[in-house]
Amino acid sequence: MSAPVPLKYGTINYRAVIRKALKLGYTGPFMVEHYGSDWLGVGVENAEYIRDVIRSYLNNK
């Protein structure tokens, strides 16, 4: 059984996935969807999470 959660709380290591994509030269957009009740709030939280992961990657490059 699963339930929709923000990226940073899920079982998939999105931090590693995003870092790998950047390391391989990906420069396109990252898109996410959320099917829970607070889709707008979670969308904002997910966008902040992705920006933080990208910033962290670029600062440690």
3-state secondary structure the chain: CCCCCCHHHCCCCHHHHHHHHHHCCCCCCCCCCCCCCCHHHHHHHHHHHHHHHHHHHHHCC
pLDDT at 13: 96
pLDDT at 33 over 90: no
pLDDT at 24: 98
The structure's pTM equals 0.87
pLDDT at 40 over 80: yes
Confidence of residue 53 (pLDDT cuts 50, 70, 90): very high
Mean pLDDT of the chain: 93
The domain segmentation of the chain, as residue ranges, is: 12-57
pLDDT at 31: 92
Looking from the CA of 29 toward its CB, the CA atoms found within 13 Å total 3
